Structure 1
Amino acid sequence: KMHEIMGNLTDQTVNGSCQGPTSACNKSADGDALELPTFSTAAKVRVIITFALCAVSAVCNLAVLWAASSGGRRKSHVRILIMNLTVADLLVTFIVMPVDAVWNITVQWQAGDVACRLLMFMKLVAMYSCAFVTVVISLDRQSAILNPLGISEAKRKSKVMLAVAWTMSVILSLPQMFIFRNVTITVPEKFTQCTTHGSFVQRWQETLYNMFTFVCLFLLPLAIMIFCYTRILIEISSRMARNNFLSRDVHLRRSHNNIPKARMRTLKMSIVIVTSFIICWTPYYLLGLWYWLFPEKMEKTVSHSLTHMLFIFGLFNACLDPITYGLFTIHFHKGMRRCRQSSNARTELENNTRLVQMIRLSSRRQIASDVHSASTEVVSESNIMKHVSNPDMSISKI
């Protein structure tokens, strides 16, 4: 199955064996006996790794979201961008990953037609939002480096770009609601799948739709990111070249402020952004491109194990994003430091409370002991006074 991530590729088993949404048939497109998919060993490994990635991604992204959202009412536009990216990654974490894992376990679709359409729509929204928010961050970083004096307009521009990114994610994903449907076959046995079978009259229409999704979801965001970060690197290189003409004293004075550190942080983050995006998603999307253009050849050449591996590798990007945008961001360090300080403060407060309680208890015991000792001394003194005041009584008794 190559439709897990893109959400718009058809299931070859159903499509190649049926001529209608509820047709009964027992032949594939090549005239061979129909073989229904099974929960293979490769699929089992895929499910285990997917659930593990889901847990790691949830913890990392929720930590980044907490760190970015805490620490004051007024938030910088960079933190807002990071929060939006984290939300997009959480959509992948809580929609794409669980749906894929459960779908591989059940093999066929058992959630009904409405869930089929809705989940395919939400899966593509999650993927589009990740790509588009990453593009917004790239454009924002480019503006910050190339036009540092326009920082006052940066927050407003970032909000507008984020609104456009989320709106386009929803709009471009809407066709999923109409092209996906439940398809059921009855021979060799009853089998239901969530697929696009019957939604396209001609094969080229489906290929065109898949190519459009491929361009919007991968090629266009990748081109924009490379363009933005190339301009950033060129600008940083030119500024460093100009700084070489300054005197050594001036260069030393400039090296102690936060501008070079910010440039290096942006440079490192830029490299990690582009590298992680390319490494994680390029192999799977290229495989998808091959499938759209030459499906029969790809099915014969590429094993299902490789498809599973490339899909999991793409999902790994959701785990890398919180590391990339979190650990390279000062606010994340401050947020985690506040978390540790808050935890330490609570621990110290609990320890102090216990210490105060122990001191109070010890004081009460000491007071009680002193009172008892004092009362004993009073009784003894009273007896002595009696003996002193009546000496004859004591002698007579003796």
Structure 2
Amino acid sequence: MPGNLSSPYPGNSSEAWQAPSFTRAAQFRVGATMLLFSFAAVSNLAVLFSVAQGGGRRLSPRFRPLILSLALADLMMTFVVMPLDAVWNVTVQWYAGDVLCKLLCFLKLFAMHASAFILVAISLDRHAAILYPLSSLDSQRRNKRMLLVAWSASLLLASPQVLQFIFRTIKAGNADFTQCVTHGSFRQRWQETLYNMFHFVTLYVMPLLVMIFCYARIMLEINRQMKKNKAAGDSCLRRSGTDQIPKARLKTLKMTIIIVASFVICWTPYYLLGIWYWFHPQMLRETPEYVNHILFLFGHLNTCSDPVIYGLYTPSFRADLASCWRRCSPDSPRTPDQSEPSQEGTGPEQEQ
């Protein structure tokens, strides 16, 4: 396992050490990682361009910083975690020195925390938008504060990776093999397991619980309003002056639910594998190597799925891409109103 990247956080082992090699399964992992990297880079940069340039005049002011931050977090995962994983599997051992060992492990954990915490901020925003619609007057300021907390907490929780006693470069026995690991950084196995479990809670358990709480309350509120409308003779939620949940807001809610579901589906197998490894290190010998690689690649799919989901639910994103294509293509005819979306009130950009 180059860099022990096939488990969330590497651990110490009393097993007889064997130098890893660039196996066929690792070669497949590198090839698949580079394909995912290419797609994630192009799609997330497109979202970033759309939100920062075109989306500024159509996307809801309260929602724009959230999507912008999510795209930035996904780009950090794309340009830090994916290339690091691919190169580390190719070289097998670590050649970049102690400083880069700490820095890249810090950036990896920072990107993973940021992605999870921004999804929490998005969930809290949807919770406030549905349950407390009158609070939307102050929502833009509140979202900026939540994003500041999300990025600051990610920075704080990832900062221990740069300390001397966690990740460092060591040589394996008398062999000419250097690796960036935590081996020997903790006196007892349980100390490292406790450290890993702490990050498991902050990276996955705590964000998941907050998101479940938010969307459970949202579903209960929607169900309550549907029963209320049904009792009044309405068969569905209508977009009118008396509706508390406008149509565009419901569409934004559907988009965020799918984004959160993608996070849970993609990363749950990876973290379960990590827990199994922390408490049962022998699992590396019992589990086929390709299983470890596939589960880690499955986690990368989350970075690719976010821009796809956003594009499917945001007409202005597709309009911005079409406008960019027309500007880049000299033979493409242009009309004055081509850059404006034709769908009004059908996407999250029209939410009030």
Query: Could you tell me the TM-score, scaled by structure 2's length?
Result: 0.85
Letter in 1 for 2:109: L
Alpha-carbon spacing, 1:64–1:349, altered in 2? closer, same or farther (3 Å) = closer
Pairwise mapping of residues 51-62 of structure 1 onto structure 2 (< 5 A)?
A: 51-62=34-45
Q: Aligned partners of 1:342 and 1:253: how far apart in 2?
A: 36
CA drift at 1:227? 1.0
Q: Alignment partner of 1:347: what SS? A: coil
Q: Aligned partners of 2:22 and 2:235: how far apart in 1?
A: 68
Letter in 2 for 1:9: P
Which residue does the alignment assign to 1:164? 149
Q: Deviations over 1:118-166 (max 9, x none)?
A: 0000000000000000110010011111111111110000000100000
Q: Deviations over 1:299-321 (max 9, x none)?
A: 23212110000000001100011
CA drift at 1:264? 3.8
Structure with more helix by fraction: 1
Alpha-carbon spacing, 1:108–1:51, altered in 2? closer, same or farther (3 Å) = same
1:128 pairs with 2:129:
no
The answer on whether the counterparts of 2:126 and 2:253 sit within 8 Å (CA) in structure 1 is no
Which residue does the alignment assign to 2:252? 266
Which structure would you say has the larger RCO, counting Cα contacts within 8 Å and 6 or more residues apart?
Answer: 2
Letter in 1 for 2:212: I
1:306 pairs with 2:307:
no
CA drift at 1:348? 2.7
Which residue does the alignment assign to 2:349? none
Which residue does the alignment assign to 2:10? 9
Alpha-carbon spacing, 1:99–1:118, altered in 2? closer, same or farther (3 Å) = same
1:149 pairs with 2:150:
no
Pairwise mapping of residues 215-364 of structure 1 onto structure 2 (< 5 A)?
A: 215-247=201-233, 254=240, 260-296=246-282, 298-336=283-321, 338-339=323-324, 342=327, 347-348=332-333
Letter in 2 for 1:54: F
Which residue does the alignment assign to 2:62? 77
Alpha-carbon spacing, 1:321–1:288, altered in 2? closer, same or farther (3 Å) = same
Alpha-carbon spacing, 1:83–1:110, altered in 2? closer, same or farther (3 Å) = same
Which residue does the alignment assign to 1:183? 170
Q: Alignment partner of 1:166: what SS? A: helix
The answer on whether the counterparts of 2:44 and 2:71 sit within 8 Å (CA) in structure 1 is yes
Query: Could you tell me the TM-score, scaled by structure 1's length?
Result: 0.76
Q: Aligned partners of 1:98 and 1:125: how far apart in 2?
A: 16
The aligned length equals 329
Q: Alignment partner of 2:179: what SS? A: strand
Structure 2: 5+ residue stretches without partners: 336-352
Q: Deviations over 1:183-220 (max 9, x none)?
A: 01353x31000001121111111010000000000011
1:213 pairs with 2:170:
no
Structure 1: 5+ residue stretches without partners: 17-28, 351-398
Alpha-carbon spacing, 1:72–1:304, altered in 2? closer, same or farther (3 Å) = closer
Deviation larger for 316-325 or 212-221 = 316-325
Letter in 2 for 1:4: L
Q: Alignment partner of 1:198: what SS? A: coil
The answer on whether the counterparts of 1:116 and 1:181 sit within 8 Å (CA) in structure 2 is yes
Deviation larger for 319-328 or 57-66 = 319-328
The answer on whether the counterparts of 2:50 and 2:321 sit within 8 Å (CA) in structure 1 is yes
The answer on whether the counterparts of 1:8 and 1:180 sit within 8 Å (CA) in structure 2 is no
Which residue does the alignment assign to 1:41? 24
CA drift at 1:349? 6.2
Coordinate RMSD, CA, aligned: 2.7
The answer on whether the counterparts of 1:89 and 1:130 sit within 8 Å (CA) in structure 2 is yes
Q: Aligned partners of 2:40 and 2:134: how far apart in 1?
A: 36
CA drift at 1:96? 0.1
Q: Alignment partner of 1:9: what SS? A: coil
How much identity, in percent, do the aligned residues show? 49
The answer on whether the counterparts of 1:229 and 1:270 sit within 8 Å (CA) in structure 2 is no
Alpha-carbon spacing, 1:40–1:220, altered in 2? closer, same or farther (3 Å) = same
Q: Deviations over 1:359-389 (max 9, x none)?
A: xxxxxxxxxxxxxxxxxxxxxxxxxxxxxxx
Q: Aligned partners of 1:253 and 1:113: how far apart in 2?
A: 59
Alpha-carbon spacing, 1:231–1:305, altered in 2? closer, same or farther (3 Å) = same
1:195 pairs with 2:196:
no
Alpha-carbon spacing, 1:6–1:78, altered in 2? closer, same or farther (3 Å) = farther
Give the structure with higher Rg (CA). 1
Q: Aligned partners of 1:278 and 1:314: how far apart in 2?
A: 9
